[in-house]
Structure 1
Amino acid sequence: MAGQQLQVLKALDAAKTQFYHFTAIVIAGMGLFTDSYDLFCISLVTKLIGRIYYYIPEKAHPGSLPPNVNVAICCVALCGTFAGHLFFGWIGDKMGRKHVYGVTLILLAVSAIASGLSFGYTAKGVVANLCFFRFWLGFGVGGDYPLSATIMSEYANKRTRGAFISAVFAMQGFGILAGGIVTIIVSASFKAAYPASPYQQDPIGSTVPQADYVWRIILIVGAIPATLTYYWRMKMPETARYTALVARNAKQAAADMATMLNVETEAEPEKVERLAMEPSSSYGLFSKEFFRRHGLHLLGTTSTWFFIDITFYSQSLFQKDIFTNYLHWLPSAKTMSALQETYMIARAQTIIALCGTIPGYWFTVAFIDYIGRSVIQLMGFFMMTVFMLGLAIPYNTYWKNGSHPVGFIVMYAFTFFFCNFGPNVTTFVVPAEIFPARLRVTCHGISAACGKAGAIIGVFGFLYVVESPDDAGCRCGIGMQKALYVLATTDFLGFMFTFLIPEAKGKSLEEMSNDIKPEEGSGMDEEATHQPQQPQQAR
């Protein structure tokens, strides 16, 4: 296949970074911002929902939801995300990236509003409605991951592609931060407007009736960024790679290149037709040829994403329980009103996001195209294993019962830092680079779905393995220390499976997919190729 490389693809790989690239980062990144806000804001309000609908003053932790309700509220969106990854991954390759890109935002916006408007005559009715709409919210989130990653990878040049895809995913950190800030503002505003009686004197009065508005407002706010981004997504053209290699419309691909990057290229319809006749352009997903070329790659991307999401989601969605029940960093629920407890949980999560989560994302953006995806992923898994063992080994003798809380928080924050300066970002980047264009969104969706399977296992595992019988009525609790050992083990397994993934640094998408080999001796001078006259926005 030497000599078959298309001019439009070489121009994309060699194009200088310009304004349109940053526009695409913002447009795609706002989807990830919305995704993370919607997925993780629920962890900030479950205690409040428990106070309002499942208040039992005799319980040690009266703001806690029953275990089955807690896991349902936290997991149902992840189940929807799992389904969305697979469905939108498949449809994104069949119909094109752009045609389904806006559908995910509509689902996010409508479901976020409906989640906040979940009403019912009983507590079970409210929770059932909330879970129903959270599932469809997760379904929209599931579509956003593979589409955003693939669109950004197919727009980017090969020198800075890793940083661009990472920057899209890094918006997830700002979504988590925004969830904490919105919760702080809303809970503080209602706390000032509707002060509760001291808990010891008036248990019922510690949860004012107006508190029911707080969690609803927090969930509904998630519709705002999705709504604002919809127009700009609809203005984006289809990626030139999809148009040329999958839709086989060489003229439209060249026209889109001229619009996006102001780069004139030859359409080459005859070469597109010849490429379509190549055997490498016809093998299907899960065929013998696919497994020969990409079987180990898919095993690597699915397994590593599975292992990292066990750790990331179990920690993220149950931070409040770690801070309150095990670390005792937050005051007891019996000493706070419902709104004050919500405020304190949001403040703690915001501190972790600022100190560990967000810096980790942007370290990856800064270094991924210099030291490579594999190095960052290996380093991240290794350091997470080290810090998890640092928390687990001396837990009963040093960390337990809130001893040395500052040291625990620092090490805990470092696990988030190396999660994001490591596999949490690279597992999102790599599947968008190493698979063929006609299967790229599907393979990314499969990899992400395996990640969500790990997330669901992590959430169930944390609740039913860590919770003690006294706290939640569960009879299979093994304690925080052993749970930390389990997370350290999953991180180590992620480290080992990373060796199945090829390094994509500095290579074109066509080189990585092994479908189109570069022309021998073509040596296109990247710095001098098709200099843009003046950057333009998407039409």
Structure 2
Amino acid sequence: MGCLVPHGLQVRAGRRGGLDYPIAASYLAEILPSRARGRWLVAAFSLQAAGILLGAAAGVVILEAYPHVTSWRIMLGFGLLPALIIIWLRRRVPESPRWLAQNGREQEARDIGRALVGVPVQVTDADKERHEPPAEGVGAFLQPRLFSRQWRRRTVFTAAPWFLMDIATYGVGIFTPTLLASLTVHGANTTFIADDIVSTKGTALLDVFLVVGFLLAIFLIDRVGRVPLQLVGFAVMAVALCVLAIGSQLPGGAGAHLPMVLIGFGLFNMFMNLGPNATTFALPAEVFPSEIRSAGHGFAAGCGKLGAALGTFLFPVLLTGIGQAALLYAVAAACALGFLITLVFRVEPRGCSLDELSGVQATRLAPRVTPP
């Protein structure tokens, strides 16, 4: 069993905002067996699809019950409930045995290690070694080793596709109701609330494909690998966006070609979660060595959130400025670039231990041989 949380990073790291992605992914990657690591990483991440589907369903119910413009306040407040549940559940997560061993709490490390692997463990001398303290401030995020000759290929491989994927995911995903309304809901007798309800129902229907995509990813990721899924996902996302763009340019507009709109959105949602939305979360937790695993994942996630911010804020501006078709083609090009970067810089973790992937023999809590 390898290190659970890299060098001194505690599970209870709430004092630093934005650490949930790298801490959760690093924790899971380092306690899971190689044969099931990808499946469980994606399964944990896939709960976001359930949340998205629940959010869309809650939006439909709230809009139907309170059809006025302030209903968004109720929908926003609804998100507080799962957050409170997660705060309570997180308090039950055990500390990293590796971190405990390195800080002189060996008995706790043994107890938690045994609870995790089901057999007695011992703390080796290597586990007790204290490594150089983690960088503080900006240095904790911009880990110099991430850009060294040895690891920069993996930094590009994990960060750039996540950046490009989140441009598409957040741009198209958040504004799916807006796109649906502009593509398909027209007419002089419609009202803002009526259009909003129709587009929200359409979004809830299309969000089912998000769940299907994650289910397929859980089933396939340890069978076919992360890189093939990411490549197929980016390729189909680009094609799906082109289908939507072409539909908006046909005579009568997309509203006259509703099957194309549904196929385009359905394919985009399903293959996004079958591919890069699942794999970009799992890959950084697997391809970096333990001492920079959380830094690598944090940098990749940060690049992803930069892409999310660009997609969220620029999408409505560009939708008005250049129109639906041009914007959809541009996002399709971003997906095609994600495909190309994945192909060129690929590293496949399927079936490999974290030690094999890093090329470094990681320290570990070793199983203790007990007499019969």
- Same fold by TM-score greater than 0.5: yes
Equivalent residues, number: 358
Q: Does the 8 Å CA contact 1:242/1:437 hold for their aligned counterparts?
A: no
Show the counterpart of 1:9.
2
Residues 1:511 and 1:423: Cα distance change in structure 2 (over 3 Å) = same
- CA distance, structure 2, for counterparts of residue 289 and residue 460 of structure 1: 29
Higher relative contact order (CA 8 A, sep 6+): 2
- CA distance, structure 1, for counterparts of residue 306 and residue 147 of structure 2: 23
Show the counterpart of 1:435.
288
Residue 135 of structure 2 is aligned to residue 259 of structure 1: no
Shift of 1:276: 5.2
1:305 to 155, 162, 179: 162
Return 5+ residue gaps in structure 2 as ranges: 133-139
Q: Secondary structure at the match of 2:2?
A: helix
* Amino acid aligned to 1:260: L
- CA distance, structure 2, for counterparts of residue 496 and residue 176 of structure 1: 29
Superposition pairs of residues 319-358 of structure 1, within 5 angstroms: 319-325=176-182, 327-328=183-184, 330-332=185-187, 335-336=190-191, 338=193, 340-354=194-208, 356-358=209-211
Show the counterpart of 1:113.
none
Residue 272 of structure 2 is aligned to residue 416 of structure 1: no
TM-score relative to the length of structure 1: 0.61
Shift of 1:332: 5.0
- CA distance, structure 2, for counterparts of residue 289 and residue 331 of structure 1: 50
Q: CA offsets per residue over residues 47-79 of structure 1, 9 Å max, x none?
A: xxxxxxxxxxxxxxxxxxxxxxxxxxxxxxxxx
- Please say which of residues 442-451 and 257-266 is displaced more in the overlay: 257-266
Show the counterpart of 1:508.
353
Return 5+ residue gaps in structure 1 as ranges: 1-7, 13-91, 105-138, 192-206, 278-283, 468-476, 531-539
Q: CA offsets per residue over residues 190-245 of structure 1, 9 Å max, x none?
A: 35xxxxxxxxxxxxxxx4xxx52x2222111111112122222112112335545x
- CA distance, structure 2, for counterparts of residue 228 and residue 442 of structure 1: 27
Residues 1:287 and 1:455: Cα distance change in structure 2 (over 3 Å) = closer
Residues 1:306 and 1:258: Cα distance change in structure 2 (over 3 Å) = same
* Amino acid aligned to 1:96: L
Q: Does the 8 Å CA contact 2:2/2:30 hold for their aligned counterparts?
A: no
Superposition pairs of residues 118-137 of structure 1, within 5 angstroms: none
- CA distance, structure 2, for counterparts of residue 431 and residue 387 of structure 1: 27
Of structures 1 and 2, the larger Rg is shown by 1
- CA distance, structure 2, for counterparts of residue 275 and residue 333 of structure 1: 70
Identity %: 28
- CA distance, structure 1, for counterparts of residue 26 and residue 362 of structure 2: 20
Residue 358 of structure 2 is aligned to residue 482 of structure 1: no
1:272 to 115, 121, 127: 127
CA RMSD of aligned residues (A): 3.0
* Amino acid aligned to 1:254: R
Show the counterpart of 1:181.
57
Residues 1:346 and 1:247: Cα distance change in structure 2 (over 3 Å) = farther
Show the counterpart of 1:166.
42
Q: Does the 8 Å CA contact 1:166/1:365 hold for their aligned counterparts?
A: yes
TM-score relative to the length of structure 2: 0.86
Q: Does the 8 Å CA contact 2:290/2:362 hold for their aligned counterparts?
A: no
Residues 1:173 and 1:486: Cα distance change in structure 2 (over 3 Å) = same
- CA distance, structure 2, for counterparts of residue 418 and residue 239 of structure 1: 34
Residues 1:435 and 1:344: Cα distance change in structure 2 (over 3 Å) = same
